[in-house]
Amino acid sequence: MTVAFTRKDSANEPLDIAGIGIGPSNLSLACLLEAVPAIHGRFFERHTTFDWHPGMMMPGVELQSSFLKDLVTPVLPTSRWSFISYLVAHKRLYAFLNANYDAVPRQEFARYLAWVAKGVDGLRFGSEVREVEHRADRFVLHFDTGHEEARNLAIGTGTSPFVPDWAKPFLGADCFHNSEAKWRLGELDASRVIVVGGGQSGGEVVEALLSEPGQISELTWISRRHNFEPINDTPFSNQVFSPEYVQAYLKLSGEQKQAALKHSILTSDGLSISTIHSIYRRLYALRYLEQSALNANLAPNRDVVQMERNGKAYRLIVRNQFDGGIEVLHADTVILATGYRFRLPDALASLPDRIALDRNGYPLLNDDYSVQWAGPRANRIFAQNAGRYSHGIADSQLSLIAWRSANIINTLLERRHFDAEPDNAQLVWMSELSQGPSHDVRIGYLESALSS
């Protein structure tokens, strides 16, 4: 049965979908909804303007995905909200092409997102959803100045900085998450700095500190990984950022998903080659060419066990996973490049006992990105950027946000408005090679061989 949506103009009619939070994911959904007038949607954000990771916009940082994987292009390339349209609108398409970027500056992509947020319909900034309750056949969103009703929700509040338990008691001016790096680094009053986290965010902080060390005399970079490893940006590895991989991943068991996620971790969480080269060359220059007093130590395979106050400084107890040794490190400032985690917004506090969570604390998602919850099937809660474990590593990246938005809209309509079917895959993920006329014969042969 196809759902027949009609444009809601009456104040008494609920929205078809209400978005909580306006980040790239819900921004993509809003853009695509412009092409679907039958669905009436509105999106709410507590901040007064759109600002994408402002604390991470340090000089020279780059996007780790193609600019063609923008808010709309993979499913609606004719949209006026594509990255190419942004370049044309700002009269710099040719200049951008002539710059021949290996990777797009993150600042440029942030400006593209902000440009879209100023123009697309249905966005309400400065409107914080205080509480959501469910009544009969709809959700009621409460604000300081009133309420809105909607049949469906789209959670797009993004991920929050993750702070390990050992660091939580010390958060402040001299112990902070890298999400504040742009504002904090220039104000450091420290001679000894430790950066914890060996991914791209940690690399960008280290690169910035090496470029302008100020009064820092000792810089230590700790990573739990075996080494400071590059992102796997090769063609076959990048197939995990494709609809066909997601559809294959959804068919796996829980244990198989965990294994697949582990094997593909460096397609997402590795260091950009340009960042690695920049850091290594800067270390070379400091040590051999400039004879700098800065002592930089890169320490992979370390796991912080405990953090303590030591006067005005800190003492970190660290386990060396390479040889099993225990080390004691000292710092005036500790910077946590420890990643981000999804969590349900506080506005849903009245519904948590009705929402199923997995062992990682993430909401259990159906294949269509709707949350498994104890409520009417007609009232869905879609969770964007919450499917790292259920849908694969690409879900926390920009690569598939347009495709995910298209799937959400198709689910609402209960028909295929957007063509979200996978492309012809270069890789065969599932056990399809055995399919064909002689399938049963081959399977019988294999079973016989394996049992002998």
pLDDT tens digits, one per residue of 71-82? 999 999 999 999
Q: Does residue 328 fall inside a structural domain?
A: yes
% of the chain surpassing 90 pLDDT: 76
What residues contact 39, with CB distance under 8 A and at least 6 apart?
Answer: 5, 16, 17, 33, 409, 412, 413
Residue 229: the pLDDT is 93
- Shared domain for 198 and 314, answered yes or no, is yes
Q: DSSP character for 180?
A: G
Domains in the chain, number: 2
* 381 and 321 within one domain: no
Asked, for residue 189, whether it belongs to a domain, the answer is yes
Domain that holds residue 387: 17-158+341-413
In the numeric block, which tokens belong to residue 36?
Answer: 């679907």
Are both 217 and 278 inside the same structural domain?
yes
**Pairwise CA distance, residues 65 & 81, whole Å:** 18
| 385-419 pLDDT per residue, tens | 999 999 999 998 899 999 999 999 999 999 999 99
In a domain, 242, yes or no: no
Name the pLDDT band for 439 (thresholds 50, 70, 90).
very low
Q: Are residues 331 and 361 in the same domain?
A: no
**Predicted pLDDT of residue 10:** 53
The pLDDT tens digits for 103-146 are 899 999 999 999 999 999 999 999 999 999 999 999 999 999 99
Is 425 a domain residue?
no
- CATH label of the domain that carries residue 145: 3.50.50.60
Question: In sequence order, what are the residues at sequence separation of 6 or more whose Cβ sits closer than 8 angstroms to the Cβ of residue 202?
Answer: 178, 195, 196, 221, 223, 337
Residue-level pLDDT at 162 = 95
Q: Is residue 118 part of a domain?
A: yes
* E strand segments, 321-422: 326-331, 333-336, 340-342, 381-383
Claim to verify: residue 63 and residue 193 sit in the same structural domain: no
**Do 321 and 348 fall within a single domain?**
no
Can you tell me which residue has the tokens 């049963």? Answer: 440
- Shared domain for 205 and 309, answered yes or no, is yes
428 pLDDT more than 90: no
Domain match, 173 and 301 both: yes
Residue 449 lies in a domain: no
Q: What is the pLDDT of residues 159-199, one digit of tens each?
A: 999 999 999 999 999 999 999 999 999 889 999 999 999 99
Out of 10-24, 229-243, 430-444, pick the least confident.
Answer: 430-444
Q: Based on the domain organization, do 107 and 63 belong to the same domain?
A: yes
Identify which has the larger pLDDT, 158 or 440.
158
Do 170 and 197 reside in the same domain of the chain? Answer: yes
Average pLDDT of the chain to the nearest whole number = 90
Residue in 161, 160, 208 with CA at minimum distance from that of residue 185: 208
In a 13 Å sphere around the CA of 432, the CA atoms on its Cβ side amount to 7
pLDDT of residue 100: 93
Q: Considering 302, 336, 370, which residue would you say is the last residue of a domain?
A: 336
In a domain, 218, yes or no: yes
What is the pTM for the complete model shown? Answer: 0.90
**CA distances, 117 to each of 35, 236, 399 (Å):** 16, 34, 19
Q: What is the pLDDT of residue 35?
A: 94
Indicate the helix (H) or strand (E) that contains 301. Answer: none
316, 203: one domain: yes
The pLDDT value given to residue 116 = 98
Q: Are residues 139 and 275 in the same domain?
A: no
The residue written with tokens 């780790």 in the block is: 64
24-33 and 106-119 helices, crossing angle to 10°: 40
10 is a domain residue? no
219 touches 195 (CB < 8 A): yes
